[in-house]
Amino acid sequence: MSFGEHLEELRSRLILALAGVLSTTIIALVFGKDILAIICHPLLMVQQLNGLPPNLQVLAPTAAFVAYLKIGFLAGIILAMPWILYQAWLFVATGLYKHERRFVQMLIPVSVGLFVAGVLFLYFIVLPLVLHFFIRFNTAFGTPELSPTPIQRLLLPDEEPPPPVIELPDSAQIPSVADDPADPDPGDIWVNVRTHRLVIQTPNGPMSVPLKPGARQKTMESQFAIDFYISFVLMLALAFGIAFETPIVVFFLAWSGIVPTATMARSRRYVLLATVIVAAMLTPPDVISQLLLAGPMFCLFEVGILFARLVERKKEAIA
């Protein structure tokens, strides 16, 4: 193919890739609420395990709508990524010989599977670990003693009398249950230890308030804004999916002869530095998520070198 024909092929592949992104974005907007429930599940689960109310905050009137649009756009890109990779490999195949095209076509399902594996690795392993670490880190800050000093009592007199102390009889007990009663009577009260809520049954239905662990309130409570959390998760999903393509990139560079396997093997220290830098660029500014991305990237680099060596040995045996 001539240079102009290659440009025309690139244009057609880009149009098809953008058409795929548009289609998946529309699908993501249609099923936006279901996608939101899937994205929020790790956070709500970790919040409940740590005794926090499982919810997200909406800090602006338009925040939920903006979050919905983010879900449609970013989730559309993630869902369309297998199609984008397919179009990219087809463009690469136009510049190869016939036997090389068959080999490249074998890499298409592998690259798609690696991208999906990266997203699943983030969702089921990395995301719960990162959220649990930061929520536990935030709860480590306790509230200091708030009793005023004698001088502060003079400067800030308490004009209201202290509230009266209500003493309950010794026989008064609130039952703790794992699940709400099936048919409670009005006036029944209980503590749901699974959801950490105090529930009172009224004639109009149950009413509840969240309970927090510990006798003292924490200084910081991990309640996240919905738009920031969605951007955090979807950008990480895209980063992990792309990062898991490392073995394909390494294998293709060695197979095509652009960079020999021995050269890449001798450059491990530089590759390690590069993976840390790339992980820092693709992830939010926290060390935990950066390390959880850089570690698998370097391991996948070694996997790519291993398969590239196997192919090289096979070529040498045939020759």
- Provide the pLDDT for residue 150: 80
- Provide the pLDDT for residue 317: 74
Question: In the numeric block, which tokens belong to residue 308?
Answer: 């590239």
d(CA 165, CA 23): 63
pLDDT tens for the chain, residues 1 to 319: 677 888 898 899 999 999 999 999 999 999 998 999 999 999 999 988 887 888 888 988 888 898 899 899 989 999 999 899 889 888 888 877 777 777 777 788 888 899 999 999 999 999 999 999 888 888 776 666 777 778 877 787 766 666 676 666 666 688 899 889 988 999 899 998 888 888 999 999 999 888 876 666 666 777 889 988 998 898 899 889 989 999 988 888 887 778 888 898 898 999 999 999 988 888 877 788 888 899 999 999 999 999 888 877 877 776 6
Question: In the numeric block, which tokens belong to residue 200?
Answer: 């009172």
d(CA 308, CA 65): 47
- Provide the pLDDT for residue 216: 63
- Provide the pLDDT for residue 89: 85
The domain locations on the chain are 1-141+223-241, 169-217, 245-319
Could you give phi then psi for residue 95, rounded to 5 degrees? -100, 15
- Provide the pLDDT for residue 142: 64
Q: What is the DSSP string of 252-282?
A: HHHHHTSS-HHHHHHTHHHHHHHHHHHHHHH
- Provide the pLDDT for residue 209: 85
- Provide the pLDDT for residue 159: 63
pTM: 0.79
Question: In the numeric block, which tokens belong to residue 117?
Answer: 């594996």
d(CA 246, CA 92): 17
- Provide the pLDDT for residue 12: 93
- Provide the pLDDT for residue 161: 66
Is residue 106 within 8 A of residue 20, CB to CB? The reply is no
Give the alpha-carbon dihedral of 57, 60, 61, 67, to 10 degrees.
-70
What is the rounded radius of gyration, in angstroms, for the C-alpha atoms of the chain? 28
